[in-house]
Amino acid sequence: MKQDYLLKNVLVILILFLSSLVYMIGAQTIKPTPNPDWSKPYPSFKIAGNLYYVGTYDLASFLLVTPKGNILINTGLADSYSLIRNNIESLGFSLKDTKILLITQAHYDHVGGFG
C-alpha cells in the first residue's frame, strides 16, 4: 500500500515534469516577428518641461531629465539601442547621465535594449 502511494506520487511528479519540459521547449521556439516600424528611426523632440521623446517611429521611449540623473523609460528592441542613444545625444544629453531605467511592461519590444 505504501509502495502504491509512492509510485503514484512519482508518476504525478514525472508527468508534471515532462509536461513542463514540453511547454518550455515550445515556448523557446517561438520567434517574434517585430513590426518593421519598431526599428525605424524617428526624430527626438521635447514633449513638455523636462520630458523628451527618444524612441523609434512606432515604439515609444522617453527621457526624463533631472539634476540627479536622467530616467529612461522603455528601450525598445535590442537593436534600438543606437537609435535611442543617437536621439538622446541629438537633444544635447548623454546616455551616460541615465541613472534609472524603467519599463512600462515586460515585453521584448519594451526591454530589448536594456541589455
Query: What is the per-residue pLDDT across 40-73, written as a single tens digit (0 to 9) for each?
Result: 999 999 999 999 999 999 889 999 999 999 999 9
Give me 59's grid cell: 515604439
13-17, 51-55, 80-84, 88-92: least confident range: 13-17
Q: Which amino acid is at 32?
A: P
**Could you tell me the sign of the dihedral formed by the alpha carbons of 85, 90, 71, 76, in that order?**
negative
Q: What is the mean pLDDT of residues 99-115?
A: 75
Confidence of residue 38 (pLDDT cuts 50, 70, 90): confident
Res 29 pLDDT > 60: no
Give me 82's grid cell: 543606437
Q: Across all residues in the chain, what is the average pLDDT? A: 82
Res 92 pLDDT > 60: yes
Are β-strands 98-102 and 70-73 bridged in parallel, bridged antiparallel, or unpaired? parallel
Q: What is the mean pLDDT of residues 29-46?
A: 82
The residues, any chain, with a CB within 8 Å of residue 83's CB and separated by 6 or more, are: 39, 41, 56, 76
Distance of CA 81 to the CA centre of its chain: 12
